[in-house]
Structures are given as structure tokens and as C-alpha cells.
Amino acid sequence: IDESHMTVPQINGMYNGDRSRKEMLVDFGFRLPSAYDNRPLKFDEFSRKINRVIYTSATPSQYEISISSQVVQQLIRPTGLQDPQISIKPSEGQIKDLIAEIKKRVKKSQRVLVTTLTKRMAEELSLYLEEKSIKVHYLHSEIQTLERTDLLDDLRLGNYDVLVGINLLREGLDLPEVSLVAILDADKEGFLRSETSLIQTMGRAARHVNGQVILYADTITGSIERAIKEVERRRQIQLDYNKKYNISPKSIEKPIRAKLVEREKVYEESKQIYRDTVIQLALERATEGSLLAEDRQKYIKILTREMKNAARLLDFEQAAILRDQIQSLKFPNQNS
């Protein structure tokens, strides 16, 4: 069972999820009671059917460890790569510091992953980084699966230098070009900043020979302390092994796969969602009553750029709408 820390709870929840959905349908006569018989296995039924099981996970839960007759650690990689170096920086001035770290990586043709706590925060950070002329995109649930994989390929190809996400930059992401993972608000205890989540997110930088993780936090939570302790334990074992056998770490080489779905405009939908979000955020900010005049001009500048983009793409209707919005922002007291 791969990624058992995620898969085992899913198996455990399948029956209850199916049951709760069908109860409503049966109670109101949309399905016969026999619909209950077509169901997933309960967890104890599943457990009785399996014989020998190998649970694989970088962060196994207590359940797998407790029922296993033997726990095997697979810490040494054939490439000699170690787990990333971890540093903690204060939350104050985190965006300014993040931009400086991103620019260092961009100069070396390396990529960066940034994880935030909320979708809104990811959107606003992406908008701000774009204002600073950084090639950035964010991963969110509205992007379809095939588009998401193409977006990750674009990151590897250098079409983007930074990806901002919430909970998608974790298990299964194998990006050799990523040398930095930045975790914002790392000290906000919860599901997205638990020990397991932190270790999984940190692991995205373990495919690069110069992999580094930066945690922006003002306090060291229990989750941060345990996660750092575990990653550093693994890293020390890897360093000792490399020193003993004179192994030089080398970043993995992974070809970029052929696209599953070829389209004339691969990201048309995801880009449109992103552009719409940029426009909406700029409008919201520009119409705030407490906004300073110079800040309002900054958001008007963003809308002007989007108007020109729309005109260049021959979307004159959108360009006209943006033109009118810009005019109303420039001259708020003028009657339309």
C-alpha cells in the first residue's frame, strides 16, 4: 500500500462515506434499501481479506507501525542525495526575504515551491510576485488533473520559476529542478502544518543536490521540532554513508514526459482562471475606501496591463470592460 499514511485512512472512510450518501437517497425514496448492499468493504473486512502487506511511506502513521512485524528504513538513495537542509526565519519580512531567495535560485536556473495556508493567500502572493517580475503560477483545486501535470512540466521547463500552492505540493511530486521549498506561517499548528505535512512538504526539495527548506515561523511548535529532528536524523545517516563509501551526491535526471492530452492552448482554462483572479483582486483592492492614492495607482496599473493583454489576444470585449473599470477608478466622482 503506497503512501499508507494517506491510503489507509481513505480505506477506513470509504464505507461511511458511501453509507451517508445512500441514506439520504433511500430515506426519500430515490433508491431501494438494497442499494446498501452494493458498498465498499468495511475496514475490518478489508483487513481480513489481505494476507501479506507492505506499507510504504516517508511518514508512516502509528497504525502501520503498531501492526508491522518489522519496520525497514529506506534512507539511502542510489544518487547519494540527502534530505534537504532546513533553516528557520522570522515571519516579519518573510515576503521580502522570500523574493531575495527566489532571485538567487532563478539566477542558477533552479525552481522554487512555496506553500501557504489558504487559497486567498496563495492568490495574493502570486499576484505580488508577478508584480515583482517573477514568473509564478499557483496550484489550486480548480485546475484539472491533466492541466496540473502540464503545469508542473512547465515549471521544470522554466516557463515558470515559482509555484505557489496550499496542500498539493506534497506526496508524489518528483521535481529534480526544485532546490528550495518555502513554508509560510509554519508555526500555525493544524492539518497543513502537522509533523506529517511538514516532512512531506520538505521532501519536495530532496531531489536536488542543493535542496533547502525555509520555515517562516516566530515560534518552534511541537510539529516543527519533531519534523526537523526526523529530517536531520535521516540526513545525518545519509551523510555518514556517503562519507564512508566516498559517494558524491548527484541530482536525479528525469525526462519530461510526453503530454497525455495535446491541445493548441494547453493552459487556456487555468490561465483564464488565474487572469480573472488577478483582475478581481486588483479591483477589490483599488475600490477600498481607505486605500492611499499611490496604492490605487498601482492596482490601476495592473488592470491596464490586463487590458492590453486582452487587446493583444483580440478579446476586445474584455478590454472594453477593463477600460471602463479603469476610467471609473481614475475618476470616481464622474457620472457614467
- Nearest-angstrom CA–CA distance, 64 and 40: 21
Q: Name the residue with cell 500552492.
A: 165
Lowest-pLDDT choice from 39-53, 137-151, 198-212? 137-151
For residue 287, what pLDDT is reported? 62
212: left (phi over 0), alpha (psi -120 to 50) or beta: beta
Contacts of 318 (CB under 8 A, 6+ apart): 310
For residue 303, what pLDDT is reported? 78
Q: Name the residue with cell 439520504.
A: 24
- Nearest-angstrom CA–CA distance, 153 and 137: 12
- Does the pLDDT value for residue 157 go beyond 70? yes
246: left (phi over 0), alpha (psi -120 to 50) or beta: left
For residue 271, what pLDDT is reported? 56
Maximal CA-CA distance, the chain: 78
Mean pLDDT within 49-66: 92
- Does the pLDDT value for residue 273 go beyond 70? no
- Does the pLDDT value for residue 123 go beyond 90? no
Contacts of 229 (CB under 8 A, 6+ apart): none
The domain spans of the chain are: 4-67, 85-244, 268-330
- Nearest-angstrom CA–CA distance, 84 and 205: 6
Q: Cell numbers at residue 294, please?
A: 499611490
- The CB density around residue 319, as the number of other CB atoms within 10 Å, is 18
- Does the pLDDT value for residue 208 go beyond 90? yes
285 or 92, higher pLDDT: 92
- Does the pLDDT value for residue 294 go beyond 70? no
Residue 31 identity (one-letter amino acid)? R
Q: Given strand 178-183, what is the order of strands in its sheet?
A: 85-89, 212-216, 178-183, 111-115, 162-165, 136-138
- Nearest-angstrom CA–CA distance, 332 and 323: 14
Query: pLDDT-derived band of residue 267, with 50, 70 and 90 as boundaries?
Result: very low
Whether the model clears a pTM of 0.85, i.e. scores above it, the answer is no
312 or 231, higher pLDDT: 231
Q: Give the chain's mean pLDDT.
A: 86
For residue 293, what pLDDT is reported? 67
User: Alpha-carbon torsion 227, 233, 237, 240, what sign?
Assistant: positive
Mean pLDDT within 77-105: 95
Burial-class residue 28 by CB neighbours within 10 Å (0-12, 13-18, 19+).
Answer: exposed
- Does the pLDDT value for residue 41 go beyond 60? yes
Query: pLDDT-derived band of residue 266, with 50, 70 and 90 as boundaries?
Result: very low
- Does the pLDDT value for residue 295 go beyond 70? no
Mean pLDDT within 65-81: 92
Percent of the chain at pLDDT above 70?
86
- Does the pLDDT value for residue 54 go beyond 60? yes
Mention the CATH class of domain 85-244.
alpha beta
